[in-house]
Structure 1
Amino acid sequence: MLKLKRIGIDTQNESIAYVDRHCQLFRPDQHRALKKVSITGEGGREVLASLAIADDEGIVADDELGLSEQGFSSLGLPEGSPVTIAPAVPPRSLESVRSKIRGATLSSDDIRNIVVDIAHHRYSEMDLAAFLIGSASFMTTDELLALTEAMIAVGRKLEWRQPMVVDKHCIGGIPGNRTSMIIVPIVSAYGLTIPKTSSRSITSPAGTADTMEVLARVNLSVDEMRHVVNECGGCIVWGGNVNLSPADDIMISVQRPLGIDTREQMVASILSKKVAAGSTHLVVDIPVGQSAKVRGMEDAVRLRKLFEFVGDRLGLHIDVAVTPAAEPIGRGIGPVLEARDVMAVLRCEADAPSDLREKSLQLSARIIELDPACRGGTGYARARELLDSGSALRSMERIMRLQGPPSMTFNLGELTHEVNAKVSGKVRDMDCYRLARIARLAGAPLDRGAGIDLLRKTGEVVEAGEVVYRIHAAHAGDLALATEAAERNVGFAVAPASLP
């Protein structure tokens, strides 16, 4: 037996076990080639973890076993509890992964066993990467359905006791596209239930949860989330705190570094989360543009059909909106700047971004018209009325009040660099990917106040030397990196005034 010790290291989705190199009870040098070890404690509680050997007695003593934050939380035992450590038995489902790599089509049982093992952290990152790459090479629609159903089954599923629970999801790739934070208060003010669980950013300058956190607390428990929804009709919270489709969170942690983002895996990820959140009706936004995730209508149609196929079989009503994505939405890229734009739209300020307002109204209208009580063709007018009358703003203020204030005040980055037009003319093209990259180099979303403030958009006239956008950062090093990237490629083009 070893004594359990909590190691205050956040290892994201992977549990790490720390054992002193001179531990005589386990002798880690003999086991260093193990992919996983099994940690067992009182009541048969078990967690699987990767093994790390410590040479510093300040980390663990020779009679202790340390667990990173994730492993310690999963095991659920107090520090000092007696635990045993042993080599973990390799999951049987790995044989199915090997079959998939060889090009086999997996059965529903095969996929269910794989997902259960993933959710219980029985796969190493190498095992998980093998499954993801094998699936990315070829996946049938039946396999996609089985994967989605298995991902729903291994996590929590929320029930709202409402005949209609609506939601909206954008597949991403467009900076500033914070329509959800406007749609939720409009739709909840209308009277539909819309419990919005959102992700934090992984590769973009801001996720909905990052931006909402500028305005209110987002790491609510399930009970707190229920209270907000029951009182307000909606919420905007971080989904990672309520254990919806946990296997998806684990897979995403490996997908993103590998650059794997297939249509099938995207559909399984989104729909497993929405069904687990209790949604009955979902509007999916697929932006299409030269620098978006989806570049053309042919790909958009294929993706739409996958959403509809899986949604039909899960009993989830899907309405897919294919929207143009030639430039960022709104004026801000980064959490503080995007929160500014959202509140400007909700407050109906004169200089509020018209594109963010219009897209939010269009998508809100599609959700409202899902309501059988809404007369066909009146959804847009009703959404606009709710926004212009201040009802949506009051709904958002109630949601913010009940979710609670943010943990700290987030301010716009004080260090700035201005990017100027080289010639006079009209802004012709804006590269969403490039501008998002510059905003991330400036520190977004980790520094909530970092990002890009867009002063001109496509079609607007500029003079040579005029500022097109301003980079904000909190640290000089980040500002230097973003400035250097902008000097290499500013992310926009200006058509000289002499050209049509």
Structure 2
Amino acid sequence: MDQQDLPIRRVAIDTWRENVAYLHRECPVVRAAGFQALSKVTVRVGDGQINAVLNVVDDEQVVRVCELGLSEDAFARLGAADGALGAVAPAVEAASMPALRRRIAGERLARDDWHAVVRDIAQARYSKIELAAFIVAATGYELDREEVLYLTEAMIAAGRRLDWQRHVRGGPVVDKHCIGGIPGNRTSMLVVPIVAAHGMLCPKTSSRAITSPAGTADTMEVLADVELPLARLEQIVRDTNGCLAWGGSADLSPADDILISVERPLGIDSPGQMVASILSKKIAAGSTHLVLDIPVGPTAKVRSMQAALRLRKLFEYVADRLGLVLDVVISDGLQPVGRGIGPVLEARDVMAVLRNDPAAPSDLREKALRLAGRVIEFDADVRGGGGWRIARDILESGRALAKMEAIIDAQGRRAPPALGGLTHEVRAERAGRVLAIDNLQLARIARLAGAPQVAGAGVDLLRKVGDAVEPGAPLYRLYAQYPADLAFALARAELASGYVLGDMAAPCAA
């Protein structure tokens, strides 16, 4: 055996979108090459190769002295058999690293620089440390609008791109998206079946939650499979006119999914990266027309109308240059939409609206109808202003529910998991009226309860803005699966419930 040829061992560690290699400290390769922990290495098996970050271990139960361990991500990406011989060598620096260093120093990057950076990210040539540096650099020195355009173009070019024109014969391929930040705002799961029932093609791909207790993909996964191979996703859309899938499994804008894996723990969602992330996914999915929801409120992602208008202009600039027809809706982000916060609770609200349940959250229903109406108005045969009525008729007739059931069956129906078995009600300390609800605080509490990793965890709102409460009245109910999660959520709720109560005559937040 050559000094650098080592049998590969699959190490059952989930490193979440990062290739990690493991070598024992006494391995001759470590000594010969002078490897240190966090060195970047290239692993080759036959014609395949990957770049990885090296972890040096001292326990032979992880890897033996003359073995090369690979994390789950690295093993899957390399595609080698367990026990195959692999060569490990120092990695050559990613070609785009000089451009990254210039961006860290505050320099503006050209189109070719952005394409090089994103290409290296998509091909897993950046470590998590380097990705974090990229994200912070792009946030600390805000991207100008041309850089956002170049980043969006590069993210589209790095992955697959769907083309639905042979199915729509020149008609629009539509989608709806929200920038996020408002708990419970699961309007996409209502818009898609309404629009698809109208006969429009709506291939909805979504990311998983970044900093929220649930994303559309997390919530849809309660009801159906969302990790769909590209061929299956295309067939589902052809058969049903729509889908509600996770974009990562279809390899659409793959660099975005890698960046999200770092943005999530950092809690960063900068305007430039937000625009590039959303528009690259929509264009890669083949959408030609998009309704974009920007909620505005004191605890939303966008806090003022002025900031919303700036963001709208940036979205419109990039969309226009990439040939995407965009309709931006600036909406009320003063409080959560619906009642549930967390995958199972939000799926419950969605299905209640689709079933025309009288107890379904009226705010979720009305917002979804407004947005679905705007999407339907992309239909050349629908007059402006007529979309809302068509959307309402589709919902009330049961056609939207039938379409949703068809999409669920096509994607692969799942039995919804149970709500967390541990509960606690957070109660009002005084009488009064609910003046405001803090979106950020309620999202934190729901995440501490376990959402979205625990689908049945979260917060069920029992009072909304404007409601009168008596002392001791329940404001919301916590659901958790594990005692530690419930304790964390309760500790946060005791610091601040997220509810602002005032006198009955006091005005609500505006």
In structure 1, the partner of 2:183 is 175
Q: Is the 8 A contact 2:292 2:329 kept in 1?
A: yes
In structure 1, the partner of 2:290 is 282
Gaps of 5+ in 2: none
Q: CA deviation at 1:11?
A: 0.5
Match of residue 73, structure 1, among 69, 73, 76: 76
Q: CA deviation at 1:498?
A: 5.9
In structure 2, the partner of 1:195 is 203
Match of residue 307, structure 1, among 304, 315, 329: 315
1:16-415 correspondence to structure 2 within 5 Å? 16-27=20-31, 30-32=34-36, 35-43=39-47, 45-136=48-139, 137-160=141-164, 161=166, 162=168, 163=170, 164-406=172-414, 409-415=416-422
In structure 2, the partner of 1:457 is 464
Q: CA deviation at 1:25?
A: 4.0
Q: Is the 8 A contact 2:38 2:55 kept in 1?
A: no
Sequence identity, in percent? 55
Say whether residues 1:8 and 2:12 are aligned partners. yes
In structure 2, the partner of 1:488 is 495
Instruction: Report the TM-score when normalising by structure 2.
Output: 0.94
In structure 2, the residue corresponding to 1:395 is in which secondary structure? helix
Q: CA deviation at 1:321?
A: 0.6
CA distance in 2, matches of 1:28, 1:364: 63
The one-letter code matched in structure 1 to 2:12 is G
Q: CA 1:358–1:498 in structure 2 vs 1: closer, same or farther (change >3 Å)?
A: closer
The one-letter code matched in structure 2 to 1:285 is D
Q: CA deviation at 1:112?
A: 1.0
CA distance in 1, matches of 2:235, 2:381: 26
In structure 2, the residue corresponding to 1:309 is in which secondary structure? helix
Q: CA deviation at 1:464?
A: 1.8
Q: Deviations over 1:345-371 (max 9, x none)?
A: 000001110000000000000100011
The one-letter code matched in structure 2 to 1:286 is I
Q: Is the 8 A contact 2:457 2:480 kept in 1?
A: yes
Q: Deviations over 1:80-115 (max 9, x none)?
A: 222211000112321112222333221111111111
Q: Is the 8 A contact 2:21 2:70 kept in 1?
A: yes
The more displaced of 153-162 and 389-398 is 153-162
CA distance in 2, matches of 1:499, 1:285: 30
The more displaced of 424-433 and 166-175 is 424-433
CA distance in 2, matches of 1:25, 1:454: 57
The one-letter code matched in structure 2 to 1:488 is L
Q: Is the 8 A contact 2:210 2:260 kept in 1?
A: no
Match of residue 446, structure 1, among 453, 459, 471: 453
Q: CA 1:400–1:130 in structure 2 vs 1: closer, same or farther (change >3 Å)?
A: same
Q: Is the 8 A contact 1:157 1:277 kept in 2?
A: yes
In structure 2, the partner of 1:420 is 427
Q: CA deviation at 1:28?
A: 7.1
The more displaced of 118-127 and 234-243 is 118-127
In structure 1, the residue corresponding to 2:8 is in which secondary structure? strand
The one-letter code matched in structure 2 to 1:430 is I
In structure 1, the residue corresponding to 2:28 is in which secondary structure? coil
In structure 2, the residue corresponding to 1:31 is in which secondary structure? coil
Gaps of 5+ in 1: none
Q: Is the 8 A contact 1:28 1:53 kept in 2?
A: no
Q: Is the 8 A contact 1:21 1:28 kept in 2?
A: no
CA distance in 1, matches of 2:190, 2:372: 9
The one-letter code matched in structure 2 to 1:14 is E
Q: CA deviation at 1:391?
A: 0.2
In structure 2, the residue corresponding to 1:327 is in which secondary structure? coil
Q: CA deviation at 1:58?
A: 2.4
Q: CA deviation at 1:189?
A: 0.2
CA distance in 2, matches of 1:166, 1:312: 16
Q: CA deviation at 1:300?
A: 0.4
CA distance in 1, matches of 2:327, 2:458: 32
Q: Is the 8 A contact 2:30 2:36 kept in 1?
A: no
Say whether residues 1:470 and 2:477 are aligned partners. yes
Q: Is the 8 A contact 1:157 1:276 kept in 2?
A: yes
CA distance in 2, matches of 1:402, 1:472: 30
Q: CA deviation at 1:476?
A: 1.6
The one-letter code matched in structure 2 to 1:61 is R
Structure 1 segments, 4+ long, off by >6 Å, are: none
Q: Is the 8 A contact 1:34 1:87 kept in 2?
A: no
In structure 1, the residue corresponding to 2:27 is in which secondary structure? coil
Instruction: Report the TM-score when normalising by structure 1.
Output: 0.96
CA distance in 1, matches of 2:105, 2:15: 32
Q: Is the 8 A contact 1:331 1:353 kept in 2?
A: yes
Q: CA 1:5–1:104 in structure 2 vs 1: closer, same or farther (change >3 Å)?
A: same
Q: CA deviation at 1:196?
A: 0.9
Q: Is the 8 A contact 2:451 2:458 kept in 1?
A: yes
CA distance in 1, matches of 2:11, 2:129: 24
RMSD, matched Cα = 1.6
CA distance in 1, matches of 2:250, 2:129: 27
